[in-house]
Amino acid sequence: MFNIKDTVKKVMCILRQKANDKNLGFEAEFLNVAAELEGSPMICCDEHRIMQVLLGIQVNALKFTQKGKVHTKVEILTNEDGKKLLKMSVIDTGIGIPKENQDKLFKLFGFV
């Protein structure tokens, strides 16, 4: 088990200087994380895999964003079966990814 807020902050700490060098906003937002996880932001899954995926997405966002910001949003959602889902989004003001290539990149990761 690990604290998802701390994990996201660790990844962002690695990249913060790159964002600062480009004069970009670089922030994280946590929605329903503690509330949905019964008061604790601890989750049980592969922390290193989450870090790897988030790091890759943030590196690309910083690479292709020349001005503005890179914003990471972390949410805990509940599906129809009552299972908790971790949703992480990286939103930036960069050039974007063409629609025809988005299906190749964005997939649901299953963590147990």
Q: Sketch out the chain's domains with CATH numbers.
A: 2-93 (3.30.565.10)
């790159």: which residue's tokens? Answer: 18
The tens digit of pLDDT for each residue in 11-55 reads 999 999 999 999 999 999 998 776 656 556 566 778 898 999 899
The pTM (predicted TM-score) of the whole model is 0.79
Q: What Å distances lie between residue 102 and 30, 45, 107, CA to CA?
A: 24, 25, 9
Q: What is the pLDDT of residue 80?
A: 87
Helices (H), 1-112: 4-21, 33-36, 47-63, 99-105
pLDDT(111) > 60? no
- Indicate the average pLDDT of the chain: 85
Tokens representing 42 are 């601890």
